[in-house]
Structure 1
Amino acid sequence: MRVFFKKIIIVTILLLIYTTKAQTQNIELSYTTEFQNNIGSKSNWVNLFTLSGNFTPWRNGKFSIQTISIYKIQEKRIANDLQTFSNIEEDNMGINLFHIGYTHKINDLTLFGGIRNMNEDYFTGEYTSLFTNSSCGIYPTISYNYPVANYPLSAMTLHAEFRFKKSFCIKNSLYNGVARELFSKEGSLFSIDPIKDGILNITEFSYSSKSNYHGLYNIGTLFHTNHNSFNEYKQEKKKTKKMNYVLWANAEQSIYKQENKEVGILIQGSLAPTNKNDCFYYYGIGATLSGFVSNRKYDKLGVFINKAIFHENAETAIEITWQYNLNKNIIIQPAFHYIKTGTSQNKIGIIRCNYTLPL
């Protein structure tokens, strides 16, 4: 089985390289660099490189691939927060296959098979994606409890989306229960092992407004058939594995819009069984303001406050951030984080810059 999937990846990469006859093709290089400072304490410099490409050999089909590389100067994180204040920071990684597969569209139904990461499909929206705290991209009731397909790791996936009446969408993804790196000692990235790894199924129902005022409302569930907590998994404890689940909901709504100015609010919430999870409750609320500093639509200010409840602690995080598009290829984003974990406090400033280059 592993040999079969390795052949698939080789063939797909070759198709991406030699695709001059495809109907459409897109290749993009992205570089994100971030300077971090825990005020009065430690500093770090984090870098993320991504290379992505896709091509459509026929009308309703698409092959796609994305690789990522991560490098930071200091291996140890500068803060002891539980949610992780930076959504790009991870251990150094030479290269990892983040996404590869085939997508096919049949009217309102979209199907995908291959390697995938749940960050690209769930939990974020137009307003939420502004913030740099990791919990805005995936809730700690999932990321802290499960070794699953969350940045920077991915897993074998069958993904489906069905859109109806223009505003409604149902998504469902079936993942191998454990995500891994491309060159992992623990097992293959291409593993499908329901007995050892379990199966993770995630389902979401969403409504998006088609009016001039942005609105997005999501509710979802996640089930894992063979569950140990994330910490138990990392420590390789031999404990009885059991079914587990998570429930969540989020909402984004524009409440003011005039020319290039817009004000939006966002709310998130998630819960999990207290007897099966290290993190069992999470909620957050925030607001975004677009076009108020430079009168440009892509000039965005945001503030977000969240709280995560763990068995041994609770953590409150506040983020204030400003995103400015210098031009169509360069984005500059400073942010300030105040984090209280139990009795410990961190005050962290970051400056992030992203450069995207179509090839």
Structure 2
Amino acid sequence: MTQNLGTNSPSFLRDIKIFRSIILLLVCISTFTQGLVAQTTDALSFEASYLSDYVNSPYSTLSTGTAYMGMIDLAASLNTETANLWPGGEFFFQLQNTHGATASESLVGDLQVFSNIDNGNYTFLYQLLYTQSIGALSLTIGSHDVNELFVASDYGGEYINSSFGLMPTVSMNVMISSFPKPCLGAILQYQFTPVFTFKTAVYEGDPLCLDDEPYNTKFSIDTNQGYFAIAEGNYTYSLGENFSNTYTFGGYYHSSQFDDIVNPNTAHKGNYGLYFIADQQLSASHKKDKKLGSFVKFGIAPKNRNEYPFFWALGLNYYAPFTKRANDVLGLAMASLSINRSLIGTELPYQHKNEQVIECFYKASIGDNISIQPEIQYIINPGAVLANNNTTIGLVRTHITF
């Protein structure tokens, strides 16, 4: 079956007209506020961007065709020290609008979600927080996406498939404060040395979803759902001015009740997991921007209470691959999500032992405000079910900043 998802429906076309008006308004607001801030103070800053994915799926199992997804992002911050209020403080506000198709569900049926902006039609408060820094110590309180600070890889962040961001052994096994529905949390960071930083955080146990809280503006805490806690250490060292590496060790715990995978009548108190991430630079040249970087990610969780007990990913990024293209990036990566063996079988939810994805992209910068990223993803065993064949996805991402 061939479909054109999110691009021809009357509601979508109406939304596109609205979003075009919003973008034009954002450009005007951004231009005006930047001029105003430049004339007065650097304490207040604004950011606006538009991110879009155009998807072509000629060989998908569920349906073939095209789809469009977009995201408007508005952010503002106030530095209290620059504003001559008090030292070390910063307020941060972020609003998002997502629109278009939910292409993973409609086209592919993959578990790991091939686009990290796939969400449907919502307008919502994304983050609202305050950070206070005192020397090497900082405390953040508010509505916060855990992946902004935790379980993150700089090199992996170049990719569009969501598994290269927040690894699924964390996001798919427990309820977590992440896109598109962050929740209240408190984050503590301390930089012990120039090369080692420790950070930990506690969040609400159940962020709910945007259908339950459409605008994400309810800040009440439901203690019946427990809490989610996470901690990690980051070690960074440099082998010269243009050669640095970062290693991350982390773990998390959710205090709620979790059913046993084999015996649903048995419940476990709490759930947990460990992860490791390495951003390793492999080479550098005398040119500042040209380098070859790699990343590896591993996540593990106990098999007796988790559908997805193991995850790994690895990739290579080549920065400034061509002369006079200092801001371009070429990337190739693979990720694999393992399925709990107790759930694999002819009459069970899954028939394959894993779902894997290979992603290859080229991101080209056009001036200072636009990037275009064409890519191909090959998804092996989508959904880890026998009915879904391997799928090739063609995708072009456009990112515009104002």
Using the size of structure 2 for normalisation, the TM-score is: 0.77
The DSSP-based 3-state class of the residue aligned with 1:279 is coil
Q: CA deviation at 1:147?
A: 2.5
Flag structure 2 segments of 5+ consecutive residues without an equivalent.
1-32, 82-86, 341-349
2:95 pairs with 1:67: yes
Matches within 5 A, 1:195-210: 196-210=224-238
Higher strand share: 1
2:283 is matched with 256
Long gaps (5+) in structure 1:
1-16, 232-236
| Mapped contact 2:258–2:270 kept (Cα < 8 A) | no
Q: Which residue of 2 aligns with 1:335?
A: 375
Aligned equivalents of 2:102 and 2:192: distance in 1?
48
Contact preservation (8 Å) 2:153, 2:295:
no
The answer for the alignment partner of 2:310 in structure 1 is 281
Partner of 2:246, secondary structure, is: strand
Residue of structure 2 equivalent to 1:320: 360
Question: In the alignment, is the contact (CA less than 8 A) between 1:119 and 1:150 conserved in 2?
Answer: yes
Please say if 1:301 is aligned against 2:330. yes
Q: Secondary structure of 1:98's match?
A: strand
Give yes or no for the alignment of 1:25 onto 2:44: yes
Contact 1:154–1:189 under 8 Å retained in 2: no
Q: CA deviation at 1:228?
A: 3.9
What is the aligned counterpart of 2:65 among 42, 65, 75? 42
SS in 2 for 1:78: helix
Q: 1:297 to 1:122 in 2, by over 3 A?
A: farther
Query: Structure 2 CA distance, aligned partners of 1:256 and 1:241?
Result: 46
Find the aligned partners of 2:73 and 2:191 in 1 and give their Cα distance. Answer: 29
**Whole-Å separation in 2 of the counterparts to 1:345 and 1:182:** 31
Could you tell me whether the CA contact under 8 Å between 2:102 and 2:120 is conserved in 1?
Answer: no
Pairing partner for 1:173 from 193, 201, 222: 201
Superposed CA RMSD: 2.4
Structure 1 distance, partners of 2:97, 2:265, is: 32
Q: In structure 2, what residue type is equivalent to 1:345?
A: N
Number of equivalences: 332
Measured after TM superposition, the shift of residue 185 of structure 1 is: 5.2
Q: Secondary structure at the match of 2:92?
A: strand
Out of 158, 181, 194, the residue aligned to residue 130 of structure 1 is 158
2:271 to 234, 244, 264: 244
Partner of 2:300: 271
Amino acid at match of 2:176: V
- Equivalent residue letter for 2:311: Y
CA 1:197 to 1:150, structure 2 compared with 1: closer, same or farther past 3 Å?
same
The structural deviation recorded for 1:179 is 1.2
Alpha carbons of 1:266 and 1:295: their partners in 2 closer, same or farther (altered >3 Å)?
A: farther
CA contact (8 A) 1:299 1:325 kept: yes
Query: Percent sequence identity over matched residues?
Result: 25
The Cα of 1:123 is off from its aligned counterpart by: 2.2
Richer in helix (by share)? 2
